[in-house]
Amino acid sequence: MQPADRVDFNGAGSATGEKNAAEHWRELLTQIGGEIAAPLSAAIERVNTLAISGRIDKQSLRALREEIAAARRAGMVGQQLSRLGSGRVKPSNERVQLAEHLHDVLSQRERDLQFRGVQVRPGLNGAEVIADASLLFTLLNALLDWCVEHSCSEVALSIDPHGWPGRARLTCSFGHRGAEDLRSDGRLASLDTLAWRLVQQAAWTLGLDLDRSEGAAHTCVTLQFPRTVNRELDAVSAVEVDHGFPSSFDSKPLAGSHVLVLAARRDVRAEVREAIAHMGLTLDFVRSVEEAREFCRSGLPHAVVYEGVLGGERLGRLRDELRAEVPDFVFVEIVEEGQIFEVSTLGGADIARVGRQALRESLPSALFFELSKTL
């Protein structure tokens, strides 16, 4: 098993480090451009054919949508990579139940995984680790995206709470599509997509040890958590919890982002304001869909959080209008009952949903995840 190459992004005062970081970002920018340009070029060819013939069959239309979605996805991952590599994200030290966290991600992605025909076989044992919960959420989603890209079989996920030396270990393995040529270092170049680059960057930001091994038809990824809680001693291997370290939310990485809240009831508006007051967002409130449409005419916010009871045809038309201008415009629905928390997914739900009873816990995470894809 070979460790994923680690790059010193800040240079650490070293000329070699600065050179390596500069070369890494040059390669990454080239890759982002390529993964955006390739599907867009194919999409333009289809549009040109459509312009000439005036017709398009269902298969070609589906392919066109997939090509546009692939380009959009590459652009969004590029934005996330830029943000994580900027040094603005300050990971917090939080106690996280790893199995529960992964189970939550799998539950939120269930419809998306079914749509893409991916079967996940989790073997989840309990392990408590020290990590930034929101960044771990990003990492696990990126890992699933990468598996979806390459898996031709079910994806096996397992957690070893007693990995050596005193570290919890998350393992992901699957059979990948086709038998590709190995690079000179024995690794498959076809697996190094932008989704994998995001897995790497998120793991580095979290301070995790990341390894990947592959053969002609099978791939295995291992994440080790240096900061694992020893339940018997109630201690943390390698480092103690620093309760004074600011979290990724408390450091206000989304400060200045503009969110429009569409809610007819005063108590809902108050609950939303209280839930995200610490994030440094600019908030505006409207009471109806027409007020929201009028507000957006004078300038678009970065996201709309809306009361679910106001959903319907008029809100659907507003959503279509805004996304015609900004395809990845963020919408978060407040569901009246329950503690639901679902993020938007490509090929699945195109909006995030948060239960009203979970606003305080989940609305910041939803906005953090959705806006991180666009900022």
Spell out the per-residue pLDDT of the chain, length 375, in tens: 334 444 444 444 445 545 566 777 788 888 888 888 888 898 898 898 888 888 888 888 888 888 888 888 788 788 788 777 777 667 777 888 898 888 888 877 777 777 777 788 887 787 888 888 878 888 998 999 898 888 877 889 999 887 656 789 999 998 876 544 444 444 455 788 898 999 999 998 889 999 998 877 788 999 999 888 865 444 444 344 443 334 444 445 666 678 999 999 989 998 999 898 888 788 889 999 999 998 888 778 889 999 999 988 999 999 999 988 888 889 999 998 878 888 876 544 688 899 998 898 889 888 888 887 665
| Predicted pLDDT at 122 | 81
| Predicted pLDDT at 345 | 66
| Predicted pLDDT at 231 | 53
- Asked whether the beta carbons of 310 and 287 are under 8 A apart, the reply is no
In angstroms, the CA 246 to CA 252 distance is: 10
Residue spans of beta strands (DSSP E) within the chain:
2-3, 94-97, 120-123, 128-131, 155-163, 167-175, 209-214, 218-225, 229-230, 235-236, 258-262, 282-286, 303-307, 330-335, 341-342, 352-355
